[in-house]
Amino acid sequence: MAISVSLQCLGLIILAAILLQTIAVAVSFMYFNNVLNTMQESFSRSSVSCLINTDLHSEFEDSAEDKKSDPCWQVTQQLHYLIEKTMADRFQKEISTAMRDKVTGVMPILSPGVRGVPLPKVAAHVTGVTSSTETPTTDGLRSSRGYLGERIRAWEGQRGLAFLQDMELSGGELLVPRAGLYYIYAQTYFRLPSTGEIDGEAKGETGETKEEEGVQLVQYIYKKMSSYTVPILLMKSSRSACWPRGQEPGLFSLHQAGSAFLQPADRVFITVSNASTMEMDGRASYFGAFLVG
């Protein structure tokens, strides 16, 4: 009987210990949960105050070292750094893509067909055709047709540095396939003979030579519309040059570029003055266009 009573007492003691432990755990959980909620609320208020720049410690404003040790200052600096880094990465990606396309279009001879560098959807770069026995093929001076200078027809559109992408080359003219804003460029290269190469027939009645008269080099870019018979001058470039003295020839080049809105079936061509002195080196004489928008 005594043994039974002892077991009952032992069981009650164990139950009481378990109950006390459970109560202690519950109280501890409630206490720490309350502490965590208080810390979270305090941290939230502190973070918001950091973001809106209020309730900051003014005593740290005059000390850089104290600022660096301020948690609020550290939070704002990290946030600013992350925002700036994200914006810079996005900006760099967008600008890199845009500039890659622009550079590829403006200087197509640098990277035609390079993997990973797409060309504009509509583009052309045609080059001069070098010939040691012939002068550039031109129409001659045809002011009666509404344009100045001599139109150059000897352009290469397929070989070497030249290419045609969704554009056609016909009779020295680039045919526009669709409406849009196009970037158009041209360069022509001139070789003026030296005084030693000028024969006596170059002298006039007054005895003046070409060297004394000088020469005007002009380059024109025209567009021709199917609905209008007279070509329209888009841009021109010019320079004055003197006939070179001595035995060495004078070398000059004209370059120009600009944008123009073109319609389907419009044609673009260039004319020059003094076409007989023009050299059709493909790296020096060329023109082209590409769609930009």
In a domain, 62, yes or no: no
End position of a domain, from candidates 55, 70, 93: 55
- Domain match, 176 and 267 both: yes
pTM over 0.75: no
Per-residue pLDDT of the chain (293 residues; tens, 9 = 90+): 667 767 777 778 888 878 888 888 788 778 877 877 777 666 555 555 555 554 444 444 545 566 666 666 666 777 767 776 776 666 556 555 554 455 444 444 444 444 555 556 899 999 998 764 445 666 655 545 688 999 999 899 998 889 999 999 999 999 999 999 999 999 999 988 876 665 544 444 444 445 456 788 999 999 999 888 899 999 999 988 887 776 778 888 899 999 999 999 999 999 999 888 888 888 999 999 999 98
- Domain match, 138 and 242 both: yes
Residue 271 in contact with residue 150, Cβ under 8 Å? Answer: yes
Range of the domain at 173: 119-200+209-291
In a domain, 154, yes or no: yes
- Domain match, 272 and 162 both: yes
As for how many domains the chain has, the answer is 2
- Domain match, 154 and 279 both: yes
- Domain match, 180 and 263 both: yes
Q: CA gyration radius for the chain?
A: 41
Angle at 235 between CA 233 and CA 240, to 5 degrees: 115
